Chains A and B, each alone.
Chain A
């Protein structure tokens, strides 16, 4: 595990954590990306689970912000594929408009949840806390 982290770090150009954002709404996707870049993270944007899996092949993120209901491949399927390939090494934060975001998060064994609409501060706290763990 330590080795793979080290390898990952070496491959990167810099040490800023990479956050993969998966959401089917382009505006929200861009906005959250912009917010996190401003905060000093690197971001990758995907519009559905399939795109997100491709993105992970190219660059392994330190955190995934995941919407659940998406066309082509939804959050549940994506999370299953991610766990199959990478175990629990990449933390997932479920980002959903569903009433019971906690329950959705538990369903896929996510590390945390963020109910839409969220406060900017909440977003930063959750991302920082999850990365720190």
Chain B
């Protein structure tokens, strides 16, 4: 599940829980004002009952004529209050009893003479006794109602308190649950990722970071593992490059050392006839050493993005001729054939382009083990010069053609054409040099049918070139 989904889900859960608890709380609290209102009404009812009692007493003992009016006014108000109470659902049985009682005493009171006579009759005595008793009953009932409502109010308060507390507890629980949920599904995988990234930082490229989930963090872990893979490959390639460079440097050193020691064995007069061949050999191996060191240096420079060209007008034809002549000395089995239509001069970094040409011819020789012609050609094409080196060797397998310009990539590694003398940087450096000249390098090749490499360089340097 995506973290986004998880966040949405947890927010939804939180929202629902809050809403449910709030609703319960709201319903519970809504009952409280109703109870309070009822309690106030009972207060009124009790007052009216007392007023009725006073009116009854004034009728009975003081024989006051206004007491009948008082009674009538009060009894109407009482009925209204009772009906109100009935609609507000106070204990319905009690309210019903009180309404009945009210009707009864009202009816009884109505039977009394409208103006009190000076001496009450026995019937009147009995009726008013009955009314008084009933009034007392009603007072008692209203008291009971008051108690009941009071109890209900208390109950509502108690419930509300419990609800508020459980609301708080519920929120805390939901928060804890969410915390645990995120701890498990986000923070822990993040921790794993962090530890893994730290391991990679310390140079351990062997252990992939475990991928726990298929969410954003899982995706990030995948990206990290990809990075780790690339780093591992690059580190391994670099280690191999360094090992190969050291190996490569040792061979010319061995030739130089042995040559010098060999010559030292002889007295000067006996050295004479050996010198030309020896010096030629030494020169070749020194050049080779120089090129190797330059290669290593250039790779480092490219890594540091410090390669700068020194472009001067250069006779490209002469440059090509020099390299071809030098390379012809190294190989007895190949015939290097140079063709050019005209003398071409261009603004190039002569040392670096020489290195490019050297790399291309060196590859042509290395990868045509059974010998044959190597054609080196030069021609002008508009405002550019195009060099090409064509061999009749083993060619480049189609599957490897995509990668041959990659740094440290050795297309023939692990095959019978693997060369100890390959550092895996020649074509990479060549491409970088040509690109910085604003030129292009490409090739045409079929496995088993040789390869032709082309380099196109502009004759004149423009200002925009030279950057990486």
The docked-state distance in angstroms from the alpha carbon of A118 to that of B255 is 9
Residue of B253, B256, B258, B416 touching A123 (CB-CB under 8 A) = B258
Residue of A31, A67, A118 touching B259 (CB-CB under 8 A) = A31
Residue of A27, A35, A117, A118 touching B281 (CB-CB under 8 A) = A27
B155 interface contact, C-beta 8 A:
no
**Secondary structure call for the A interface:** loop
Are A71 and B416 within 8 A (Cβ)? Answer: yes
Are B265 and A117 within 8 A (Cβ)? Answer: no
The docked-state distance in angstroms from the alpha carbon of A45 to that of B2 is 68
The docked-state distance in angstroms from the alpha carbon of A67 to that of B135 is 130
Q: Which residues of A contact B257 (CB under 8 A)?
A: 117-119
Are A34 and B262 within 8 A (Cβ)? Answer: yes
Mark A61-85 against chain B: 1 for CB-CB distance below 8 A, else 0. 0000001011111100000000000
Are B255 and A120 within 8 A (Cβ)? Answer: no
The docked-state distance in angstroms from the alpha carbon of A24 to that of B250 is 14
B251 interface contact, C-beta 8 A:
yes
Q: Which residues of B contact A97 (CB under 8 A)?
A: 246-248, 250-251, 254
The docked-state distance in angstroms from the alpha carbon of A73 to that of B255 is 22
Mark A113-128 against chain B: 1 for CB-CB distance below 8 A, else 0. 0001111100100000
Chain A residue nearest to B244 (CB atoms) is: A69
The docked-state distance in angstroms from the alpha carbon of A84 to that of B265 is 39
Are B262 and A116 within 8 A (Cβ)? Answer: no
Chain A residue nearest to B278 (CB atoms) is: A31
The docked-state distance in angstroms from the alpha carbon of A35 to that of B251 is 16
B261 interface contact, C-beta 8 A:
yes
Chain A residue nearest to B249 (CB atoms) is: A97
Chain A residue nearest to B366 (CB atoms) is: A71
Q: Which residues of A contact B421 (CB under 8 A)?
A: 24-25
Are A71 and B418 within 8 A (Cβ)? Answer: yes
The docked-state distance in angstroms from the alpha carbon of A26 to that of B332 is 9
A60 interface contact, C-beta 8 A:
no
